[in-house]
């Protein structure tokens, strides 16, 4: 396993399969990021936990992880609980930071993930959601490059904040962008942006009767009620074929009093994008556990249970 000097907050994972089992040719990280391989999964599956010292991201923190999956290996990536983002404090000392040319506002905590999956390989990002504290700024970008016969499952989700501390939607800004490419062609582009305490109703909302006295200006809570957790799942490849089939059948009953979801096919039906909104984080977790249960056969029961424990 090669370990090279890397910048603060950076990490690198390179995993191969030699025909008998997976092995890491590189698994390295630097403070405040920590990458840990854990468990005894099936021979062609590896697990990595992405952690940050202190259990979250401080003001101005920046982490950047590069991942390569080769030779038909399968890599599952988790977090240890939700990613907590602290209040932005411009001018305070920070543990890591992006390049000086980075245009993000001072105090923004940011994360970057770049993934390359070679032919026959698979990558499963099944981390817990992001939870932003009051006045936090958070920005994440995730770019995944796939071969046509590789597979991926990307779970990207967020909560409204710390309800117990009366901090629902009290963060300053949240942005998460995901781009997925197959053989160089982009098949998915998702960008979620929540910024500013108020925003205007859309024309569609106004047509449905969403009105606020004094005009169409509405707070985040008003716009998002009754939901406080949102998730996007991007799936692609042969290994998720059965999951795609089950979701396609189930989408005819896509709504319930506590949760609603929708599904859109991509890449000529070889993949899909699923959007979920729910009243509570646990509602989303339960739905994901059931909807993605076919992955037990792909990852192994023990690995799968790490995602939605």
Task: Report yes or no on whether pTM surpasses 0.75.
Answer: yes
> What is the percent of the chain where pLDDT is above 90?
68
**Total structural domains in the chain?**
1
Q: Is residue 113 part of a domain?
A: yes
* pLDDT for 252 beyond 60: yes
pLDDT tens track for 167-216: 899 999 999 999 999 999 999 999 999 886 544 444 444 444 443 334 44
* Strand 229-236, strand 271-278: pairing: antiparallel
Determine contact, residues 181/199, Cβ cutoff 8 Å. Answer: no
Q: Does the residue 96 lie in any domain?
A: no
| CA pair distance 227, 204, nearest whole angstrom | 18
Residue 100 within a domain: no
Query: Looking at the domain assignment, is residue 81 inside a domain?
Result: yes
Q: Would residue 139 count as lying in a domain?
A: yes
Residue 210 inside a domain? The answer is no
Give the structural domain span for 277: 10-88+105-196+219-308
Asked if the structure places residue 250 within a domain, the reply is: yes
Q: Tens digits of per-residue pLDDT, 25-70? A: 999 999 999 999 987 677 789 999 999 988 799 999 999 999 999 9
Residue for token pair 């603060």: 8
116, 88 contact by CB (below 8 A): no
């Amino acid at each position: 396993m090669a370990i090279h000097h890397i910048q603060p907050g950076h990490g690198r994972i390179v995993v191969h399969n030699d025909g008998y089992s997976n092995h890491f040719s590189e698994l390295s990280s630097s403070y405040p990021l920590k990458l840990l391989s854990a468990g005894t999964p099936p021979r062609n599956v590896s697990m990595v936990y992405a952690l940050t010292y202190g259990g979250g991201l401080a003001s101005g923190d920046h982490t950047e992880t590069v991942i390569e999956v080769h030779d038909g290996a399968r890599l599952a990536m988790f977090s240890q609980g939700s990613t907590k983002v602290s209040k932005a404090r411009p001018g305070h000392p920070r543990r890591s930071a992006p390049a000086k040319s980075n245009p993000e506002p001072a105090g923004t905590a940011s994360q970057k993930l770049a993934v390359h999956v070679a032919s026959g390989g698979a990558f499963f990002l099944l981390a817990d959601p992001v939870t932003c504290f009051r006045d936090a700024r958070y920005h994440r970008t995730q770019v995944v490059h796939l071969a046509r016969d590789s597979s991926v499952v990307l779970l990207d989700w967020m909560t409204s904040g710390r309800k117990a501390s009366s901090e629902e939607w009290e963060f300053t800004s949240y942005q998460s962008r995901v781009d997925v490419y197959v053989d160089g062609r982009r098949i998915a582009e998702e960008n979620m942006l929540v910024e500013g305490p108020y925003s205007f109703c859309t024309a569609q909302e106004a047509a449905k009767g969403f009105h606020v006295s004094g005009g169409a200006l509405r707070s985040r809570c008003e716009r998002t009620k009754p939901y406080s957790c949102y998730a996007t799942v991007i799936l692609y490849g042969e290994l998720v074929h059965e999951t795609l089939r089950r979701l396609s059948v189930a989408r005819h009953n896509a709504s319930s009093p506590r949760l609603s979801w929708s599904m859109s096919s991509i890449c000529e039906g070889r993949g899909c994008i699923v959007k979920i909104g729910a009243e509570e984080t646990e509602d989303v977790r339960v739905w994901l556990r059931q909807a993605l249960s076919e992955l037990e056969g792909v990852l192994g029961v023990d690995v799968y249970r790490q995602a939605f424990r």
